[in-house]
Amino acid sequence: MKLGFFVAGLCLTNKKTKNIFLVPFWMIEMVDTKEAIKPKRQEALAEIRHLNKTMLSLALEMAREVKASGILIFAELMDDINGLKELSAAEIKVILASSRDEDMDELSQISNDIIHVPPIDFNRSGQVKVSIMLGLSRGLIHNGDRLICLSGSQRYRVLDSLVLIDVGREFEIFASRDLGILKDIARPEVFESLLSLALELGREGREGKPVGTTFVLGDHERVMQFSRQMVINPFGGVPEEERNIMDSRLKESIKEFSAIDGAFVIREDGVVLAAGRHLDASGKDLALPQGLGSRHMAAAGITSITNAIAIVVSESTGDVRIFNKGKIFMDIEKGGGEV
């Protein structure tokens, strides 16, 4: 770890991960006491905007230096997104991510490449991972792209972290080189709704209590063939139009049934076929990180023999893992608690 000074803060850089993490000195003072923020609010806001502008300039300079495909920015962190307009004049692709509906119109005037992320309190790593995953599913990001990614503190709404990502080769972001998962996402909007729900479950649980569950999306005929019902299927007999994952009214039912042992099986178009399915395919012979339980093993197993995608919510940590081809494609840590 190399220490250095940058702008108005302490800069930590790591050559191996290419990550730059900036802790402004004024932010350190703020953490000491909330009362200190009040008389310095205007000064602090001005400093935030200055830092954001500086980070944008640094990202643009680095993108040109390394011949990056584009710049990915978690734009909702910016108090004043007018600062992004300077990037729109640059001859480089700019991808903007935000969870706020009210930002969409304004962001679309700056870039045509907008990613709407779930309204979850992501940590810095989560901001980048989820944005890239959704960008891949939407065709905004491609295998082989080199991206300069800006993320930061949602608590202070400041861009303070810059990372260089070589999509498809970056082990800090992808646990698998295989981007074949994109071929198995038949309906990006269905996958995005399911991922959003999984992240919400990991973050909030059910009635405030931790919950673990598995969603299996796609190749439903083979998934049903290699699984069996453990309990009476709560979705049996329910009209298809009333059990589609795209319907926000289904969210509470999914949360309720997540307490049932077994997996949800979801068709490519978002229709929930079953809950409480035992996945018969074993993942015990697959190479997975130590410490993962039977739920993760089953997700790896079913995706190793089908073209399905599995999304697992860990009950113990709230982390969300995406499985494809018997491997962990992406690991998204539970957000919150990060300055």
pTM for this one?
0.74
What does the pLDDT read at residue 281?
79
* Predicted pLDDT at 182: 59
Query: Residues near 95 by Cβ (< 8 Å), separated by ≥ 6?
Result: 70, 71, 72, 73, 111, 113, 114, 115, 131, 135, 140, 141, 147
3-state percent helix, strand, coil for the chain, nearest multiple of 5: 35, 25, 35
Quick one: 181-332 is in which CATH superfamily?
DNA integrity scanning protein, DisA, N-terminal domain (3.40.1700.10)
* Average pLDDT rounded to a whole number, residues 150-166: 89
Percentage of the chain lying above the pLDDT 90 cut:
42
The pLDDT, as a whole number, for residue 43 is: 79
Res 333: pLDDT: 85
The domains of the chain are located at 2-166, 181-332
- pLDDT value at residue 162: 93
Q: Does residue 147 have a pLDDT over 90?
A: yes
Q: Tokens 């930061």 correspond to what residue?
A: 152
pLDDT, tens digit (0-9, with 9 covering 90-100), for 25-36: 444 444 444 455
Residue 123's pLDDT band (cuts 50, 70, 90): confident
pLDDT at position 31 is 42
Per-residue pLDDT at 105: 86
pLDDT of residue 103: 83
For residue 175, the model assigns a pLDDT of 43
Residue 276 burial class via C-beta count within 10 angstroms: exposed 0-12, middle 13-18, buried 19 and up: buried
pLDDT on residue 276: 95
Compute the mean pLDDT over every residue in the chain, rounded to the nearest whole number: 81
Residue 172: the pLDDT is 40
Locate 131 and state its tokens. Answer: 């944005």
Give tens-digit pLDDT for 172-226: 444 444 455 656 676 888 998 999 999 999 988 887 788 899 999 999 999 999 9
- State pLDDT tens for residues 80-98: 777 787 777 778 899 999 9
Q: How much is the pLDDT for 323?
A: 92
Residue 253: the pLDDT is 92
Averaged pLDDT for residues 129-146:
88
Average pLDDT (322-335) is: 85
Give residues with Cβ within 8 angstroms of 234, minimum separation 6: 253, 257, 260, 275, 276
Judged by average pLDDT, the poorest of 131-135, 291-295, 305-309 is 291-295
* The pLDDT of residue 3: 32
For 35, phi then psi, to 5°, come to: -65, -25
**So what's the pLDDT on residue 28?**
40
pLDDT score recorded for residue 121: 82
Among 2.60.40.1290, 3.90.230.10, 3.40.1380.20, 3.30.10.20, name the CATH number for the domain at 2-166.
3.40.1380.20
Cβ atoms of 328 and 322 within 8 Å: the answer is: yes
Output the pLDDT for position 266.
96
Q: How large is the average pLDDT for residues 281-295?
A: 78
pLDDT given for residue 20 in this prediction: 54
* pLDDT at residue 236 greater than cutoff 50: yes
